[in-house]
C-alpha cells in the first residue's frame, strides 16, 4: 500500500513539474537586449527628427515636432505589442496612431485663422472621436468573442 502511494506521489510530482515547465516555455522569450536596442533606436530617431525640426520656424516647426513625437509614441506602442502581443497592446497601437494623426492635423489647422481654423479643428476632433469609437467597438467585439470563446464563424 505504501509503495502504491509513493508511486502515485512521484507520478504526480513529475506531472506537475512537466506541466509547469511546458507552461513556462509556452510564453515567447523576450530578448531584453534586443528590446532595449530597439527602444534606444526609437529614441534616437525621435531626437534626430526633433533636431530636424529645430531648423524650422513657426507653425511648420510645431507640426514637425508633433509628427516626431507621434511617431515615437506609435513606435513604442508597436514595440510593446511586438514583444508582448495582446489585445490591449494592439489597441494601444491603434490609439497611438489615431492620436498622432489628430495632433498633427490640429497643428496644421493653426496655419488658418479665425473661422477656418475653428472649422478645421472641429473636423479634426470629429475624425479623432470617430476613430476612437471605431477602436473601442473593434476591441470590445474582440474582447466579447474571447470571453465567450466564440470564433466569429
* pLDDT band at residue 116 under the 50/70/90 scheme: very high
Say yes or no to pLDDT of 153 above 50: no
Cα–Cα distances (Å) from 119 to 61, 64, 110, 127, in that order, read: 22, 22, 11, 12
DSSP 92-137: HHHHHHHHHHHHHHHHHHTTS-THHHHHHHHHHHHHHHHHHHHHHH
Say yes or no to pLDDT of 5 above 90: no
Cα–Cα distances (Å) from 31 to 21, 85, 119, in that order, read: 19, 14, 48
| pLDDT tens digits, 6-65 | 556 555 555 554 454 444 444 455 688 899 999 999 999 999 999 999 999 999 999 999
CB-based contact 59:111 (threshold 8 Å):
yes
State pTM to two decimals: 0.71
Percent of the chain with pLDDT over 90: 67
Three-state DSSP class for 148? helix
pLDDT for 148: 61
pLDDT for 136: 93
Q: Which helix (H) or strand (E) holds 16?
A: helix 2-26
What's the burial of 110, exposed, middle or buried (CB within 10 Å: 0-12/13-18/19+)?
A: middle
CB-based contact 62:107 (threshold 8 Å):
yes
Q: How far apart are CA 120 and CA 106, in angstroms?
A: 8
Say yes or no to pLDDT of 88 above 50: yes
Q: How far apart are CA 28 and CA 83, in angstroms?
A: 8
pLDDT for 29: 56
Amino acid at each position: 500500500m505504501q509503495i502504491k502511494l509513493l508511486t502515485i506521489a512521484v507520478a504526480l510530482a513529475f506531472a506537475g513539474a512537466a506541466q509547469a515547465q511546458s507552461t513556462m516555455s509556452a510564453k515567447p522569450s523576450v530578448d531584453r537586449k534586443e528590446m532595449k536596442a530597439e527602444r534606444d533606436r526609437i529614441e534616437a530617431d525621435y531626437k534626430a527628427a526633433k533636431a530636424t525640426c529645430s531648423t524650422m520656424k513657426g507653425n511648420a516647426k510645431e507640426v514637425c515636432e508633433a509628427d516626431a513625437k507621434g511617431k515615437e509614441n506609435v513606435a513604442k506602442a508597436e514595440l510593446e505589442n511586438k514583444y508582448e502581443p495582446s489585445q490591449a497592446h494592439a489597441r494601444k497601437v491603434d490609439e497611438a496612431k489615431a492620436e498622432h494623426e489628430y495632433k498633427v492635423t490640429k497643428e496644421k489647422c493653426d496655419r488658418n485663422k479665425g473661422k477656418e481654423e475653428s472649422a478645421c479643428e472641429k473636423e479634426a476632433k470629429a475624425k479623432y472621436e470617430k476613430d476612437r469609437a471605431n477602436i473601442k467597438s473593434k476591441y470590445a467585439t474582440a474582447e466579447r468573442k474571447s470571453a465567450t470563446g466564440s470564433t466569429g464563424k
